[in-house]
Amino acid sequence: MRFKIVLLILITLCWYGLGTAFVEGISAVIDLVPRTYSLGGFPRAASLSDIDSDGDLDIIVTNPDKNDIAILLNKGDGAFEISNHYPIDGYPISIISTDIDGDSDIDLVVLDSDGRVRILFNDRKGLFSAGGVYPVEPYAFTISSSDMDLDGDQDIIVLSEEKTTSLLNDGKGGFDVTLSYPAGVNPAPKITADLNSDKRGDIVIGGKDGVSVLLNNGDNTFAQGVYYTTGKMPVSVIAGDLDSDLDNDLVVANYKSHTISILKNTGDGTFQGVVDFPSPKGPNSITLGDIDLDEDLDIVVTNGLSGELSIFINNTVRPLAITTDLLPHGRRSLYYSEKLKAKGGVPPYNWVVLSGSLPPSLHLDPLTGEIVSRGEDEAEGAEAHHKLHEDIGEPLISHDPLCLCLKAPTGLYRFTVQATDSSSSTATADLYIEVLPLPGTISGTINYSGNKKGTIRIGLWARSQSPFMRLFIRPIFSATVTTHGEYKMDNIYPESYLLGAYLDINSDGMRQLDEPYGIFGSREKPEAVVVEHGAALSDIDMELSED
């Protein structure tokens, strides 16, 4: 379900470093908690990757004024410690983190201001050593990676105002082939992203004090741009779903306003309620990622003028949604338990069956969301039995233990459940439970007195099938035994069957005319094998013989 956001006029902000900032809306609240790390110098760009392979995202930051890159390791909860600095010969201005040499860990690729690409290889423990250096374009300003030649490794794309350069990976982290194209890129902030959920790339372009959004018409043209005022000198823009409503919002870094702006997508590629969050001086790049492992996108901002890195932990309340979409079937006379799951909203949740009904003897716990068989009739009877003997002062007499099992008739039971969170938001899901009978077993002996060798194949055909169809349809249930003697077939669905067996001499899975066979009862008058609910049939014997 898509939630369209309409922002209220009232907006409450808390100054960076002093607390939590909120943007209140009808269906979601943007809640960003800022943290700041002092790096000194002029932090220019950041990349998020799990460089130490511990399951969370770490941060790598370029710092041209210090001629190095800084590594901040995630403690697992979105807090970081500065672990290492790696010197770079030149001014590092752009960085990507990806597996360059195919060893399943994250390496670093750094672009410096002299137009050189530098590789730093990971030792699989989060420590880096210098790799190759590749000159490209003196006025290059950004890099990215992609498998350009579809050979299974990451190549590097370098953009400048005059040309685009591709470095092709040799599969081991070396780059022997350089391809250049006379197609430059204006360094003004520009991204492509699907903003209206039509699976087409729309364009966002930075301007003097805002951004223009151009929606893709689907015919190689774009609609006229819609301009949104953000702050002075937007230098970076990025798209991501900040409020978990399944569309891309925008985050803009405003270099001269010392703010980041959040533009919330209404779902159709238009944006309402541009909201500014204070950041340290000179925010110049933005990166998104789930750094605290709570399944939403947090914001990482480098601030060049203050020499600081800002992290905005996203505590936005996600829309309430029931994530359970399929329930397992139940078997009569067996215990049933399955817990419904939801995410988002404000826990805890309260559960109720809104329409339809659960199979009789199943109960939905409103507090835990667990659907469980509880043998209601017996439970109520036992409680009354207990109370009666307590009232008259007699000792409790023994009785059979309760059967906390599924007792509903077989069939398909459809129902709608509703979850309500602590803020009274609701979500619903249409579900069903199929109740199946308890399967049975068939066992017996297969006798064969001949001297032919082969595998004995046993089959059950439903008597509800016509005799003609049984000639051509494989058995519903089958089993094999390597020698004559005892056999057993489990998990047989209740039904009336014909039972037969033959000696597969040719190992082709089909009975030939020269292969011995037998039928339960006799060939002239087969007997039905009736498997009832949970039945265990024994002494179902057969004799294999020649025609």
Domain ranges for the chain, please list them: 39-183, 186-316, 321-374+403-436, 440-545
- Which residues, 6+ apart, have CB-to-CB distance to 40 below 8 Å? 63, 65, 66, 307
Task: Look at residue 183 in the predicted model and tell me its pLDDT.
Answer: 61
Residues 50, 97: Cα–Cα separation, whole Å: 9
Residues 311, 330: Cα–Cα separation, whole Å: 48
Q: Which CATH class is domain 440-545?
A: mainly beta
- Nearest 10 degrees: Cα torsion 132, 109, 37, 299: 180
Task: Look at residue 95 in the predicted model and tell me its pLDDT.
Answer: 96
Token pair recorded at residue 466: 């016509």
Token pair recorded at residue 507: 């190992």
Task: Look at residue 244 in the predicted model and tell me its pLDDT.
Answer: 85
Residues 355, 349: Cα–Cα separation, whole Å: 18
Residues 358, 353: Cα–Cα separation, whole Å: 8
Please say whether the beta carbons of 301 and 406 come within 8 A. no
Token pair recorded at residue 172: 């081991």
Residue carrying the six token digits 């030792």: 123
CATH H-level, domain 186-316: superfamily: YVTN repeat-like/Quinoprotein amine dehydrogenase (2.130.10.10)
Please say whether the beta carbons of 237 and 193 come within 8 A. no
Segment 62-104, tens digit of pLDDT: 999 999 999 999 999 899 999 999 999 889 999 999 999 999 9
Residues 330, 328: Cα–Cα separation, whole Å: 7
Task: Look at residue 235 in the predicted model and tell me its pLDDT.
Answer: 94
SS3 category, 325 = coil
Task: Look at residue 378 in the predicted model and tell me its pLDDT.
Answer: 43
Token pair recorded at residue 117: 């690409």
Q: What are the residues facing 117 on neighbouring strands?
A: 111, 134
Q: What are the residues facing 254 on neighbouring strands?
A: 234, 259
Mean pLDDT by 10 residues, the chain (547 residues): 27 30 49 94 96 95 95 94 92 95 94 92 91 88 88 90 87 84 67 92 92 92 93 95 91 97 94 92 96 94 97 90 95 92 92 96 96 65 44 42 76 96 94 93 94 92 68 75 91 90 90 90 90 92 89
Residues 294, 519: Cα–Cα separation, whole Å: 62
**Angle formed at CA 147 by CA 135 and CA 120, multiple of 5 degrees:** 45
pTM of the model: 0.68
Q: Out of 1.20.120.1200, 2.60.40.10, 3.40.50.150, 3.50.50.60, which CATH number does the structure's domain 321-374+403-436 have? A: 2.60.40.10
What is the Cβ-side half-sphere exposure of residue 450, based on CA atoms within 13 angstroms? 18
- Nearest 10 degrees: Cα torsion 528, 532, 535, 537: 0
Residue carrying the six token digits 């290059």: 140
Task: Count Cβ atoms within 10 A of the Cβ of residue 108 and give its class: 0-12 exposed, 13-18 middle, 19 or more buried.
Answer: buried
* Domain topology for 39-183: Methylamine Dehydrogenase; Chain H (2.130.10)
Domain 186-316 shares a fold with domain 321-374+403-436: no
Interstrand relation of 45-49 and 58-63 (parallel, antiparallel or unpaired): antiparallel
